[in-house]
Structure 1
Amino acid sequence: MGEFIGLIAVAGAFCIPLLAIWTRHQKDLRVHGGSAEGDAAQLAEQVELLQERVQVLERIVTDKGYDVASQIEALRDTRRIDELLEDSSKREANQ
């Protein structure tokens, strides 16, 4: 009987830590597994929003009447914006 108790004590000394490690691992899998699904949904939503933005930008750039270069330059130099506004005002006044 004493040998049996010793065997159970040794087996318990090994099994309890292994059970604790396995339980913690299962808990981590559940926590990270659920967040992976949430991350995938969030990433899919971000991709959809970015695709919509790219479509809008493509429409803007391919629009024939859109003068991208002059507007970019105007944004770089605020004096240029003021000059363009003055020129526009003068043209309207002359008409």
Structure 2
Amino acid sequence: MKKRRNTTLLKSKLTQDQVDRFVTAQADEDSAWQKALVVRRPKSTSLSIPAELAARAAFLARLHREGRVDKWIERIVRERVEIEESAFTAAKRTLVS
């Protein structure tokens, strides 16, 4: 059987100001903080594309006055991913309703 914790703090909603004051009051107390976390940036992934597609992308990057082809491709992929995520979310909403 699970033990019940004191939930009075969990039940009461603290305002942002109360949270700020609470954290500021404990800022210099090492015992109030957890062990520091190490956060690493994920390794970047390289993609290879066919030469013909690379040439077409280079042409379009120049057409759009982008100095670097890789930056233009990154922007295009980011835009497409956002479109796909939006379409996926809309499809999920349609299925649920």
Instruction: State whether TM-score is above 0.5.
Output: no
- Using CA pairs under 8 Å that are at least 6 residues apart, name the structure with larger relative contact order, 1 or 2: 2
Taking structure 2 as the reference length, the TM-score comes to 0.30
Of Structure 1 and Structure 2, the greater helix share is in: 1
Larger radius of gyration: 1
Taking structure 1 as the reference length, the TM-score comes to 0.31
